[in-house]
Structures are given as C-alpha cells and as structure tokens.
Homo-oligomer: A and B are copies of this chain.
C-alpha cells in the first residue's frame, strides 16, 4: 500500500490510472477507521482495480475549533487498517494542500443542505460537498462508497453527482451495527460507559416505529410520535430531530412512501448520534 501525502502526487497517479483504463474505487474518510469503513473498503475492493482510501479531517465541516481539534486522529492505526483491508492507496493530504491560500470556491448543496443535519450544523454540507467533489477530481474514481448510516450525506452526494454530471457511481453500503444495535461511529468511543449503555435506544426507537409500520401504520405523525416517546424514556438522550423523509431529497413526509426513511438525531452529553432506518427497500436501492 502506498501512502500519498501530496495533491500533486495524487493527481499524477490518478491521471496515470485513467490513461491505463484502471477502475478506481474510492472510500472517503476522516480517519478513526472502524468496522463501517472496513465494510466500505471490502465492498470497494470487490469491484475495483485500485482501492483508494482518503483520510482527511476537513476543517470546514466543523463548527467550533475545539470540535475539529478534538476529532480523533490515528494515522498509524488507520494505515494498518487500510493495509489489512487491501487498500492500494492511502491518500492523506495536509489541510494546506487541500485549501491553498485564497481558496474560495464551494459546492452549494441548495435546500437539501439546510435541512436536518444541515440545520443543526450550518455550513456542514457545503463543506462535505466541496471536499467530496475535490476528492473525486483528485482520485478520478469510477465509483465511491458511502455508508447508509449518513443517509442525508449519501442523498446529497448522489444529487451532487447527478446535478454536476460527475462521472462517478455512488454506491451505498448498509450501516454496520454493534451487537446491541448501535450504529458504529468514530464518536461512540467518546461516550462514557453509562452513556454507551443507553445509546442503543436511538436505533431501538426507530425499530419500534418500523414495527408500527409493519402493523399497518402509515401516518408519519404516528411514527414520529413513537420515536419521540421511546426516546423520552431513554436516560440522557436529548432528541434533535426525528422524522419520516423521502430518501432522495430528505423532505418531510405526511404518509409513508416507497423507500421512506425514518431518521433521528440525539445528543448524549456532548456526543451527537444519528441513525436511520428505511421502511421499505427504495425502488432504486443499493
């Protein structure tokens, strides 16, 4: 596995692969790699000549400086994970390489970028869209893998690819979960043992709403109420949002719809947790 630290080296390599017709699969990450990333890498390897894992903690995605500086960083461990997963390239550029002086061109993800995660974290999706576009340009992938866990990010990247005609196939991989249902996330290790014990309530609240759906409930309000009432019973969880949305545009629904997604976000102390659960397989599912 080759570690690429510079943008210019990455560009040269990508152009060479492109000229040779090699099929590149990209896994974009902020490091702190876990079982979710390993699943993305395993899927990428199956279908690519060259698997690129990017590792970049993207400053504009973070609100407060403290959040950015406290984000877990572990290049040596991450590098070992990538090597073991069979990655060919680990692309880990510096902030200065990615955002040169005078940088001021951004992807504006429109209204989709201002809802839910975008409402809680203003500017977040603008930063995500921009860095993902840059990584696509730098690595020239045929396809890129993203986790279903970050469903709004996935929707936004799919729409960016469609709207800007990017020649990249976006593939989604199901959320990897702990045995107790908690979605795997690099934030989970920031939870105290007591918080960790209550964290699976987020997913189980979605499962309870999905069970109602299986019993015939079709009204979004009833499903939302079910999630909120389950979360109200979970010690320490503060709900940020809970809703039923259509999975492409993340518009709030009044009734279930093919592919409808239950989404929820909550805080446990300082840690934000998000999760989602599709009610039916979407028509054009992963």
Q: A residues bordering B, Cβ < 8 Å?
A: 7, 11, 14-15, 18-19, 21, 100, 102-112, 126, 129-130, 133-134, 137-138, 140, 159-160, 162-167, 248-249
A111 contacts which chain B residues (CB < 8 A)?
Answer: 104
Inter-chain contact A106/B110, CB cutoff 8 Å:
yes
**A122 CB, min distance to chain B CBs, angstroms:** 14
Docked CA distance A271–B67 (Å): 51
Docked CA distance A105–B113 (Å): 9
Inter-chain contact A104/B159, CB cutoff 8 Å:
yes
A108 contacts which chain B residues (CB < 8 A)?
Answer: 105-108, 126
Inter-chain contact B167/A137, CB cutoff 8 Å:
yes
Docked CA distance A207–B249 (Å): 53
A164 contacts which chain B residues (CB < 8 A)?
Answer: 105, 130, 133-134, 137
Docked CA distance A106–B111 (Å): 11
Complex partner residue of A137 from B7, B107, B159, B166, CB under 8 angstroms: B166
**A68 CB, min distance to chain B CBs, angstroms:** 20
Docked CA distance A110–B138 (Å): 21
Chain A to chain B: the 4 pairs with minimum beta-carbon distance, closest first: A104-B110, A105-B163, A137-B165, A108-B108
Q: Which residue in chain B gives the minimum CB-CB distance to A140?
A: B167
A159 contacts which chain B residues (CB < 8 A)?
Answer: 102, 104-105
A130 contacts which chain B residues (CB < 8 A)?
Answer: 164
Docked CA distance A110–B140 (Å): 25
A133 contacts which chain B residues (CB < 8 A)?
Answer: 164
Q: Which residue in chain B gives the minimum CB-CB distance to A99?
A: B163
Docked CA distance A21–B17 (Å): 11
Docked CA distance A107–B104 (Å): 10
Inter-chain contact A109/B105, CB cutoff 8 Å:
yes
Q: Which residue in chain B gives the minimum CB-CB distance to A159?
A: B105
Docked CA distance A17–B248 (Å): 32
Docked CA distance A167–B15 (Å): 9
A-B contact pairs, 25 of them (CB 8 A): A7-B165, A11-B165, A11-B167, A100-B163, A102-B159, A102-B249, A103-B163, A104-B112, A104-B163, A105-B109, A105-B110, A105-B129, A105-B159, A105-B160, A105-B163, A106-B110, A107-B108, A108-B126, A130-B164, A133-B164, A134-B165, A137-B164, A137-B165, A137-B166, A140-B167
Docked CA distance A9–B163 (Å): 16
**A161 CB, min distance to chain B CBs, angstroms:** 9
**A32 CB, min distance to chain B CBs, angstroms:** 24
